[in-house]
A and B are shown apart, each in its own frame.
Chain A
Amino acid sequence: MGKRVLVVDDSSTMRKIVSRALRQAGLDFDEILEAGDGQEALNLLEGENVDLILSDINMPNMDGIEFLRQKKDIDGIKNIPVIMITTEGGADIIGEAKSLGAAGNIKKPFTPDKIREVIGSVL
Chain B
Amino acid sequence: MDLLKNITEATTEIFETMIMLDITVGDPLEENVSSFKCSVSGVIGLAGTCKGMLAVHAPDDVAKAITSSFLGMEVEEVNDDVTDAIGELSNMLAGNIKMVLDEAGKDVTLSIPSCIYGEEYSMDCVADAEWVVVPFTIDAGTFLVELQIKSA
Closest residue to A14 on the B side, CB-wise?
Answer: B88
B36 located at the interface, meaning its Cβ lies under 8 Å from any Cβ of chain A in the complex:
no
Q: Give the docked Cα–Cα distance between A24 and B134 (Å).
A: 32
B33 located at the interface, meaning its Cβ lies under 8 Å from any Cβ of chain A in the complex:
no
CB-defined contacts of B17 to chain A, threshold 8 Å: 109-111
Q: Give the docked Cα–Cα distance between A109 and B70 (Å).
A: 12
Contact for A12 among B14, B80, B91, B92, CB less than 8 A: B80
| Contact-size category for B | 20 to 34
Contacts known (A11-B87, A88-B95, A90-B102); A16 close to B18, Cβ less than 8 A? no
B147 located at the interface, meaning its Cβ lies under 8 Å from any Cβ of chain A in the complex:
no
Closest residue to A113 on the B side, CB-wise?
Answer: B17
Q: Total number of A-B contacts with CB less than 8 angstroms?
A: 59
Contact for B112 among A10, A89, A108, CB less than 8 A: A10
| Contact-size category for A | 20 to 34
Contacts known (A16-B71, A108-B92); A11 close to B84, Cβ less than 8 A? yes
Residues facing B in A6-38 (CB within 8 A) are 10-14, 16-17, 20
B58 located at the interface, meaning its Cβ lies under 8 Å from any Cβ of chain A in the complex:
no
Contact present for A87 and B85 (CB under 8 Å): no
Closest residue to B73 on the A side, CB-wise?
Answer: A16
Q: Give the docked Cα–Cα distance between A11 and B87 (Å).
A: 8
Contact present for B85 and A13 (CB under 8 Å): yes
A60 located at the interface, meaning its Cβ lies under 8 Å from any Cβ of chain B in the complex:
yes
Contact present for B71 and A87 (CB under 8 Å): no
CB-defined contacts of A111 to chain B, threshold 8 Å: 17-18
Give A47-75 as 1s and 0s: 1 = Cβ < 8 Å from B's Cβ atoms. 00000000000111000000000000000
Q: How far is the CB of B114 from chain A (nearest CB, A)?
A: 11
B98 located at the interface, meaning its Cβ lies under 8 Å from any Cβ of chain A in the complex:
yes
Enumerate 5 A-B pairs (CB-CB under 8 Å) in ascending A order: A58-B112, A87-B91, A92-B102, A109-B18, A110-B17
A: residues with CB less than 8 A from B are: 10-14, 16-17, 20, 58-60, 86-90, 92, 107-111
9 closest A-B pairs by CB? A87-B95, A13-B85, A109-B18, A109-B17, A13-B84, A109-B14, A11-B88, A90-B102, A13-B88
